[in-house]
Chain A
Amino acid sequence: MSLLTQEVEELMEKHFGFSGFREGQKEIISDVLSDHDVLGILPTGTGKSLCYQLPSLYLEGITIVVSPLISLMVDQVKQLKAKGFKRVTAINSMLDFRQKKHRINNLHHYKLIYCSPEMLQNEHFMTQITSLHISLFVVDEAHCISQWGHEFRTDYLKLNDVIKKLKYPRVLALSATATPQVQDDIVKYLERPEMKKRVYAMDRENLTFTVEHVENWQEKMERIEHILRMHPVSTMIYFSSREWCEKVCFMLKEKITNLKVAFYHGGMEPDDRLLIQQQFMNDQLDVICCTSAFGMGVDKPNVRLVIHFHLPTQKESYIQEVGRAGRDGDSSVGLVLYSKGDEQIPIHLMELELPTENQIKHVYEYVNPLQLNSIEEKQEEIISQCELSESQWKFILFQMEKFHVVQDGIISKDKEKIENAYRHTVTYKQERFSHKVQKFYELLEWVHGDECRRKTIYQSFQKGFKAPTENCCDFCGFTFNEWEPLIVTRERKVHSWMEELKEIFHQEGPDEKTI
């Protein structure tokens, strides 16, 4: 065992440039290396990904990582490559046909393969990977398996089957936020009852929580301006829409000229997103106005302040987003700005995620057994006729599969079966919606609460919490006036292009080169 530990530490030093493990990493890694299935619940910012990246170097064979978000995969691959980790790739639907084909046919060149759960339903891909030696199967964001998790992805429910086809490699399921109920679901649906649970407390002792109730958005602006003038720290401001994100960014730029402000959201070009993200990491930007699209894979140590201009849809998301602050362990603050009526936006967003009852009815009417055979033939027509978003269509399709209305792409001709499935789909949709609303109300209750914020934010996830090292929360006496955060100062002069070019090309010394 000690030999193993030593080797692991050497690998760590060599590839990741540091030797200390963070809480939980060492335990999970040695479990995986000694051939256990593991469920790891590690709070955001503690380096979940190291738990499989390191074993993948050590183990013979290939590590597969199932990840729900393409942007997340792409980020991870980029960062790994930046660290000198070459044999890594991501296979997802964003690749064009040729790229995909090339990568799939060359899977054996890689040690670490990221893929979407959808890819694992692709026959060609599966044929290729079942012929290879898969030594570790990782389910990232494993809470997606449970319908009680904060995101639910129906494709995750098919992973037990994939594991079977891969001849039972060891399995590592990871999540940052999972209630005990969700943890049970993960073990159950992956069908790995012997899974070792490694659950670590998610509370962060250097975070201070504060909620401010204001009258309207203008007052939110005033507060932000005031706080940033007082504390010009590295800050993230979260919004629930792209429009707001840009709008507030412009206003802040005009008002606070000594800080560099930019916005980031999913509607931007990938190139621009990458630049903004890197500038923020490099402290070229102080304040970033963003949507939830920002942050995944952003491991900036010195974010001091995370402001929520709008509410997220549940506590899990809030914990994750506020967790981007203070990864270096220094004093950091999460501020939620609330004004009456703010609950409208999240509720509306939740409605959009699920199909309406009318849409469900419409789809089932389409699936008339007398007219259709294969679902694929009509899929696009159904989606456009019923005006379904992708998530709405997937929701209905999964229900049709679950109740055997669609089997292997063929539609059942059994009318009774179809009606039964229809009724279940409607009921299930209602259940999901009220579950989501309930989750949101838990967050809202926290916002309106009159008790210690730290106690109430963590209580549904774990028993107790560590004593805060800084101010606890607004109820325990925190005010911005007394806060003394570390401030990074960076000299920012506007240079002429010649000076700028010299800097990039390391041409030190004045007028050394005459042009």
Chain B
Amino acid sequence: MFHTILLDSFQKIQMERSDSAIFHLLTGKKSSQTVQDANTLNLKNYFGIYKTLKRKDFDKEILYLMKLGFIKSNPHNTTFITNKGITFLQHHMENNKGLHWLSGYHLHQMAPVFWSRIQLFIQTASNVTRGNNRFVPIVDQELTIQWMKQFFVQYKGQLDVIFNDMYEELCNLLSKQPSQQASIFVSQLTGFNKIGLSKFQTADRFQMTKHDVEMYTQSTLHFMMNQIYEKKGQYKRLLDFIPNDFHKLPLTESAKQTLRFLNSGIPLNTIAKKRRLKLNTVLDHVIEIAFVDPRFPIRKYVSEEVEQQILEVTEKLDTKRLKTIKEHLPEHVDYFAIRLVHAIHFRSSNPTKELPTI
């Protein structure tokens, strides 16, 4: 599955970026460039789906795909997908349901939290309902542990009911998946007298790589979260496990600060000075914001005329390469204007889905 994701990414970036761009995309690097790539190149679903990916492992997989002849690199240090690669990709895109459940852009921050909460709760409830209060938790994130303590206080005395409901809900959700994908998920769960398998062991059991296991797991989590949201009434227990900052714009911390300044009407130069940042960094933030904020006031920065010019040139040249586009525009149109216009117009073919709040 991981290879399919890599190939799909290569196909969509169409030689416009280096391999690093894909690495940053998968690990969810919070840079304006990566956020922009995810949006304009239709790669939003893969954004941040593999935060623990190591560069070394990524390079290894790329090398492997080259060996298989699925991708090749050209002298400009970019990589393209071969016909052989395309055939492989098409086959797997059609046959792998799990690929289409990924929605990294919206869920990448919540999925790991959701996952660790589920894991810790199941382990705890499975042990406690068997009278065992002495076990070593397999999740040790402080925040998850705190959340669970609160959860237990809130639902004191209802543990059995919740545990049963949760079983029904999980069973229901997993039944909608191919059985292998469901198995990958369940074999990692820990309960009373049964410790879950590590990613590595799961991979071994299902004859795949640990990267595949990671991708299937994310896909299951994303699938569940989307289902839970769409049919709130049906999964009321699991709904509690989803962190409730769904509505926040997916922005870097630094960009959020810039947005706060912008909202109070402070000019860009002053923001840079106040925050001791380079002006360029602040401009990057503006672009990042433009990507995700449907109410972004473009007229403050670019006139209607320039916007039209940029769009025309972009269409005519059929590229998103900034340098090429700039060469075909009047001198006074700068890179910032081009990027901004692209941000607004190639945000996504369907506008940012408004996500419900809890």
Contacts and interface: CB of A to CB of B under 8 A. Distances in A.
A339 interface: no
B126 interface: yes
Given A82-B135, A515-B175, A504 B194 contact: yes
A276 B138 CA distance: 11
Interface in A6-23: 17
Most chain A CB atoms below 10 A, which of B164, B183, B196, B198: B198
B126 A506 contact: yes
A385 interface: no
Contact of A504 (B52, B126, B197, B199): B126
A503 interface: yes
A515 B171 contact: yes
Interface of A: 17, 78-79, 82-84, 99, 262, 269, 271-272, 274-276, 278-279, 282, 284, 496-498, 500-507, 513, 515
B183 A506 contact: no
Contacts of A279: 195
Interface in B132-191: 133-138, 140, 142, 163-164, 166-168, 170-172, 174-175, 179, 182-183, 185-187, 189-191
Contacts of B78: none
Contact of B198 (A84, A275, A502, A515): A275
Contacts of B189: 500-501, 504
B192 interface: yes
B186 A497 contact: yes
B15 to A, nearest CB: 34
A272 B200 contact: yes
Contact of B194 (A84, A271, A503): A503
Nearest to B122: A504
A73 to B, nearest CB: 13
Contacts of B172: 515
A504 B195 contact: no
A501 B174 contact: yes
Nearest to A74: B140
A500 to B, nearest CB: 5
A324 B187 CA distance: 29
Given A84-B133, A501-B167, A271 B174 contact: no
Contact of A82 (B134, B196, B197, B198): B134
B299 interface: no
Most chain B CB atoms below 10 A, which of A271, A272, A284, A504: A504
Q: How large is the interface on B (under 10, 10 to 19, 20 to 34, 35 or more residues)?
A: 35 or more
Contacts of A504: 122, 126, 186, 189-192, 194
A155 B190 CA distance: 40
Given A497-B174, A501-B171, A506 B186 contact: no
A271 B210 CA distance: 14
B134 A84 contact: yes
Given A79-B136, A84-B134, A496-B179, A501 B195 contact: no
Given A79-B136, A82-B134, A272 B199 contact: yes
Contact of B130 (A82, A284, A506): A506
Which 9 pairs, one residue from A and one from B, show the smallest C-beta to C-beta distance? A504-B191, A505-B167, A497-B186, A272-B198, A497-B183, A278-B195, A279-B195, A275-B198, A497-B182
Interface in B190-213: 190-201
A427 B113 CA distance: 54
A506 B192 contact: yes
Contacts of A501: 167, 170-171, 174, 186, 189
A275 B197 contact: yes
B129 to A, nearest CB: 6
A17 B126 contact: no
Contacts of A82: 134-137
A272 B138 CA distance: 9
A78 B136 contact: yes
A505 B134 contact: no
B129 A506 contact: yes
Nearest to B142: A99
Nearest to A276: B198
A442 to B, nearest CB: 37
A177 B33 CA distance: 57
A275 B138 contact: yes
Nearest to B200: A272
A271 B195 contact: no
A333 B2 CA distance: 44
B201 A262 contact: yes
Given A272-B200, A497-B186, 10 more contacts: A274-B136, A274-B140, A276-B198, A279-B195, A282-B194, A501-B186, A502-B167, A504-B191, A506-B192, A515-B172
20 contacts: A79-B136, A262-B201, A271-B198, A272-B200, A275-B197, A276-B198, A282-B195, A497-B174, A497-B187, A500-B187, A501-B170, A501-B174, A504-B126, A504-B192, A505-B122, A505-B126, A506-B129, A513-B168, A515-B171, A515-B172
A497 B179 contact: yes
A504 B170 CA distance: 12
B194 A278 contact: no
A279 B186 CA distance: 16
B195 A505 contact: no
A502 B196 CA distance: 14
Contacts of B134: 17, 82-84
A268 to B, nearest CB: 8
Contacts of A262: 201
Contacts of A496: 179, 183
B27 to A, nearest CB: 15
Interface in B317-353: none
Nearest to A504: B191
A251 B196 CA distance: 23
Nearest to B193: A282
Given A78-B136, A500-B187, A504-B122, A513 B171 contact: yes
A278 B191 contact: no
B329 to A, nearest CB: 46
A515 B164 CA distance: 13
Contacts of B133: 84
A505 B183 contact: no
Nearest to A75: B136
Nearest to A499: B186
A284 B195 CA distance: 8
Contacts of B192: 504, 506
A78 B186 contact: no
Interface string B105-118: 00000000000000
Interface string B195-233: 111111100000000000000000000000000000000
A282 B192 CA distance: 10
A269 B214 CA distance: 14
A496 B187 CA distance: 10
Interface in B38-79: 52
Interface in B300-318: none
A500 B185 CA distance: 11
Nearest to B123: A504
